[in-house]
Structure 1
C-alpha cells in the first residue's frame, strides 16, 4: 500500500512545437513504473538521462540539468499546471534528444526550465517528455509489455475505427467520455496522473444533477503537487460513477476524487485494462481493451497520510474521521510501536512498511486535544 500523496506534474501548454525528425522511423522505448510514473531513458545532448513520460504535459527539464549542460534561456512561456496554477517559465533549447536505439533524434527541442529544487527528485528523473515532442508521431503504449512504440505517421493506425475517439483539441489527447447515459465528460488522457480517473470540480458541478454519480464521502486535505507547487488545502468529494465508457469499453463503479486540474483526467491506470494508441497528426485516440467490460468497485482509506519533515502526518480527513483528527496531526505510533523518521521519497516510491501488513491498522495520533487512537482502514 502506497502513501496517499497525489503528485501530478503535468503542465498544459498554450502552443505546440514540432521538432524535426526523419521522414520514416520507428522505435520501441521501454518504460518502468516508479511511484506511479512512467520512466523512460533518453540521451540529451549526448548524455543518457531518465525522463517522466507524460502525455498530459509538455517537455521540461530540471534547473539542475540545464545548468549542468549549459543550456541558455532563449524565451519564456506561460503554462498551467495540474492545480490550474499559471506561471511563466524560461525556455531552453535541447539540441538533440535521442532514443536509446538511436533511431529517432529530436532536434532543437524547446523545453521548459523548471525552478529549483527539482520536482522530479523522488523519481530520479531529469525532465519530462510531453505531448509537444510527439506532435508528428503515432504513439502506441502497451501496459503489459511496458513499451512505448513511436512511429512516423504516414499511414493511419490499423486499429478499428470503432475503438477510436477523436481529439477534442488538436495536439493533445483530450477526448469525450460517457458517464452513464448521454453525459459527456471532456477528459485529458494524462499518463502523468497516477490514478485511473480524476474529476474536475466544474464537471462535478455540471453532472451532479444528471445522476451520473453518487457521492461517497467528503474530505478536507492537501491537494496535488504540480510543477508550480502544492495546492492549498481544500474540500474534496469522493464520488462513484456506476458507469463510465471509454469508447466501447464499459467501466463500472469508477471511484474518483474531485480536484482542480484544467481538465478531468484519465490517468495511467487505464493502461492496466488495454492498449492506447495516440495518432497525433490525425488527432485520434484508440483504446484496445483486453476485456469489453470491467468492474472497478473498491474501498478507500478513511484518512490519507504523507511524510513531512521526516514525520508521518494526516494529509486528508474523510467523512468518518471528521472531528476525530485534523490535517497536520502527527502519527506517533503504529500498532502501539513508536514510529521512526521517514524519507519522503522512499514513502512516495515504496510506501510505509508498517502500513502494509494489515487491512486495519491502529494509529496513535497527536491531536490538538491530546493523543487519540484511530483505526486506519478502507471503507
Structure 2
C-alpha cells in the first residue's frame, strides 16, 4: 500500500539543550511489509510511524480521538491514484526523536479516516518530508538507521554524488537518467519496490526507444486514501540503463502506475546510502559497491490478493489474459483446499503456501468453470 499527500505544511523544531550547531541523532528503523517503521515520542507517548519521504505527516483518526488532538481545518488532498477528497487536519503539540535531541513543535497532521489503511503495520501515522525540511537526513540500508542532522556546515558527501532537487518545495524530486533521457523522479521510501514508472514517462521513453516493453496486462492498482484504484491497463518494462547520479544500473525492471511522479523506492537502499539535505535541496546516492548492478526481475503472470478472506486474482499478464479474470477465486493450492486468509498477514508476510515452492499449481474458479494454472515467476523476453 502506498499513500501520497501533495500539500506541504510547516512546523518548528528545537535542539534539546543546545544552540543550533552540529547535532545528530540516530533513528533505528525496521522493515515491515516493505515499509520503514520508526518510533518517536508524540505528546509524551512513544508511538510507531511509517517513515515516508514521499508523503506528508499524517495520523490515524483513531489516535487523534484517543489523544483528543485539536482540530485545525479541512482541505482537499489528491492521493497516489489521482483521487481527490476532503480531509481534516489536527495539531500535534510535540514530536521527539528516539534520542531526545530534536523536538518538533506544533506540527499540522492530516487525519486519515477510520478504518485506518495503516492498521496492518500497527502504526499511528506517517512521518513525511514536511517534518524534515530544515534537516539533513542520512538513510543507511545496511545498518537500518536514519540519521537526523542539524548543522550550519555542509557535512554531506562529495558534490560528485549530488543531485539537486528538481522541483520547488521539500519533496526529494530529482532527475534520474534513463539512457540519455531525463526522468523526473520522487525518492519515496513509502514505495516498497525499486522503480515505479509513471505512465506518461513510460509513453515518453517508449517513443524514444529508451525502454523495452516486456509484458502488457490489466488489473487493480494500489490502495490510496480514496480506496482501490480502478482496473486499468498495466505495462512491465525493462530500462537498459538507469543512472542515479554517477551510479549506473542495467536491465532495470519496472511496472507502470499512476502517481504524480515516477518513484524511486525503498529497495534503492539495498544498493546505496541516501542522504537528503533538505536545507539545501540536495540528494546524494553513495553506492555500497563500485560495480555496476543488474536489476532484471522475474514476475508472475497472475497477481493475487486477499479480499474478504479469499485469495483472488487482482491483475493478469501475458498469456493468462484469456484464462482467468479479475476477481476469480483460488480454490486450491497444489491440490489442497485453501483456507480463509487474514488481509494484514498477507500484506506483511505473504501467503505461506505459495512461499514453500518456486512453482505451484492453482485451482481457480472462473466463469468457464475450474481451471488449473501454473503459478511461477519467469523472465519476460524483450
TM-score (structure 1 length as normaliser)? 0.96
Q: Give the structure 2 partner of residue 3 of structure 1.
A: none
Do the aligned residues in 1 keep the contact of 2:11 with 2:105 (CA within 8 Å)? no
Q: How does 1:228-307 map to 2 (within 5 A)?
A: 228-292=226-290, 293-307=292-306
Do the aligned residues in 2 keep the contact of 1:26 with 1:149 (CA within 8 Å)? yes
Q: Give the structure 2 partner of residue 20 of structure 1.
A: 13
Match of 1:146 among 144, 147, 151: 144
Instruction: Name the SS for the 1:88 alignment partner.
Output: strand
Question: How many angstroms apart in 1 are the aligned matches of 2:181 and 2:174?
Answer: 13
Q: CA deviation at 1:227?
A: 2.3
Do the aligned residues in 1 keep the contact of 2:136 with 2:277 (CA within 8 Å)? yes
Do the aligned residues in 1 keep the contact of 2:307 with 2:343 (CA within 8 Å)? yes
Instruction: Name the SS for the 1:277 alignment partner.
Output: strand
Question: How many angstroms apart in 1 are the aligned matches of 2:109 and 2:151?
Answer: 23
Moved more, 125-134 or 169-178: 169-178
Q: CA deviation at 1:87?
A: 2.1
Instruction: Name the SS for the 2:175 alignment partner.
Output: strand
Task: Spell out, residue by residue over 1:183-208, the C-alpha distance to the aligned partner (whole angstroms, 9 max, x if none).
Answer: 00000000000110000011111111
Question: How many angstroms apart in 2 are the aligned matches of 1:20 and 1:44?
Answer: 14
Question: How many angstroms apart in 1 are the aligned matches of 2:313 and 2:37?
Answer: 29
Question: How many angstroms apart in 1 are the aligned matches of 2:62 and 2:156?
Answer: 42
Question: How many angstroms apart in 2 are the aligned matches of 1:222 and 1:243?
Answer: 28
Match of 1:90 among 65, 81, 88: 88
Q: CA deviation at 1:46?
A: 0.8
Moved more, 95-104 or 70-79: 70-79
TM-score (structure 2 length as normaliser)? 0.95
Do the aligned residues in 2 keep the contact of 1:98 with 1:106 (CA within 8 Å)? yes
Q: CA deviation at 1:105?
A: 1.1
User: RMSD of aligned C-alpha atoms?
Assistant: 1.0
Instruction: Name the SS for the 1:305 alignment partner.
Output: strand
Task: Spell out, residue by residue over 1:285-308, the C-alpha distance to the aligned partner (whole angstroms, 9 max, x if none).
Answer: 000011231101121111100000
Greater RCO structure (CA 8 Å; 6+ sep): 1
Q: Give the structure 1 partner of residue 359 of structure 2.
A: 360
Q: How does 1:85-124 map to 2 (within 5 A)?
A: 85-124=83-122
Do the aligned residues in 1 keep the contact of 2:27 with 2:38 (CA within 8 Å)? yes
Q: Give the structure 1 partner of residue 35 of structure 2.
A: 37
Match of 2:207 among 206, 209, 216: 209
How many residue pairs align between the two structures? Answer: 371
Do the aligned residues in 2 keep the contact of 1:10 with 1:54 (CA within 8 Å)? no
Q: CA deviation at 1:273?
A: 0.2
Question: How many angstroms apart in 2 are the aligned matches of 1:305 and 1:89?
Answer: 31
Structure 2, unmatched stretches of 5+, are none
Task: Spell out, residue by residue over 1:194-250, the C-alpha distance to the aligned partner (whole angstroms, 9 max, x if none).
Answer: 110000011111111111110011111110111222111111100110110000111
Question: How many angstroms apart in 2 are the aligned matches of 1:29 and 1:192?
Answer: 17
Task: Spell out, residue by residue over 1:117-139, the C-alpha distance to the aligned partner (whole angstroms, 9 max, x if none).
Answer: 11100000100000000010000
Do the aligned residues in 1 keep the contact of 2:156 with 2:275 (CA within 8 Å)? no
Moved more, 209-218 or 52-61: 209-218
Structure 1, unmatched stretches of 5+, are 1-6
Do the aligned residues in 2 keep the contact of 1:331 with 1:365 (CA within 8 Å)? yes
Match of 1:8 among 2, 7, 10: 2
Q: CA deviation at 1:358?
A: 1.4
Instruction: Name the SS for the 1:165 alignment partner.
Output: strand
